[in-house]
Amino acid sequence: GNSVTQMEGPVTLSEEAFLTINCTYTATGYPSLFWYVQYPGEGLQLLLKATKADDKGSNKGFEATYRKETTSFHLEKGSVQVSDSAVYFCALSSGGGADGLTFGKGTHLIIQP
Amino acid sequence: GAGVSQSPSNKVTEKGKDVELRCDPISGHTALYWYRQSLGQGLEFLIYFQGNSAPDKSGLPSDRFSAERTGGSVSTLTIQRTQQEDSAVYLCASSLGPTSGIGGEQFFGPGTRLTVL
């Protein structure tokens, strides 16, 4: 079956630090890959996505590249801000009828000023 | 209000009671999804509707759980004879079409926090 593995944290960084959150996956076929973010007190929202190998998703300074050879979709940002503090979820969808997202456990990111 | 809405936002119930959770998707979205978010299990996919049809119900945790969707719009998730392990946040999402087919985004509602005493 499908699965997503990501570092759970909490990950604590200082403002302007470089961020990497690792995500690897197991799936049949050619899944679409997503990063969702949940800010404190808010609902889940899509941060970025990639639908095929070597695609790079980007949004709000965050980037992630779909690496089929390493089955990875690591999230990066060059300079984090306090407002980036949130829980980040890596997810995949492989379709096949059920079409729900398979999520990782989530990574709690804390940015200190 | 263009987003996905869910009601109630909070529900406290006693063990053994039935509960109904409601989801109003974004107008025009044909696909609707239910998920459960709990501390122990993270985010679990429960069921997916394309229109009024749910092709695969195997993600529902037990036969106490059921879901329906009418008119291609509102959906209800019903939990019968609730147990303490059912306590979680139940999330609903909708999308224009199948997520993997067009790489489409799922838009999530704020969730219903269910507490079973």
Mind listing the pLDDT tens digit for each residue in A61-77? 999 999 999 999 999 99
Give the percent of chain B with pLDDT over 70: 93
Q: Residue A21 above 70 pLDDT? A: yes
- Sign of the torsion formed by the C-alpha atoms of B88, A50, B54 and B9: positive
Q: Residue B103 above 60 pLDDT? A: no
More confident site: A52 or A18: A18
Partner-chain contact A45 B108, CB within 8 Å: yes
Cα dihedral B106/A41/B34/B45 (nearest 10): 90
A44: closest chain B residue by CA: B108
Rounded mean pLDDT, B46-56:
87
Partner-chain contact B103 A106, CB within 8 Å: no
Distances (CA, A) of B17 to B11, B38, B46, B79, B116: 12, 20, 20, 9, 9
Strands B10-13 and B112-116, by their bridges, are parallel
Tell whether B71 lies on the interface with A, counting CB pairs under 8 A.
no
- pLDDT of res. B99: 59
Which run of H or of E encompasses A23?
Answer: strand A23-26
Q: Residue A31: which of B44, B50, B100 has the nearest Cβ?
A: B100
Q: Residue B101 above 70 pLDDT? A: no
A105: closest chain B residue by CA: B42
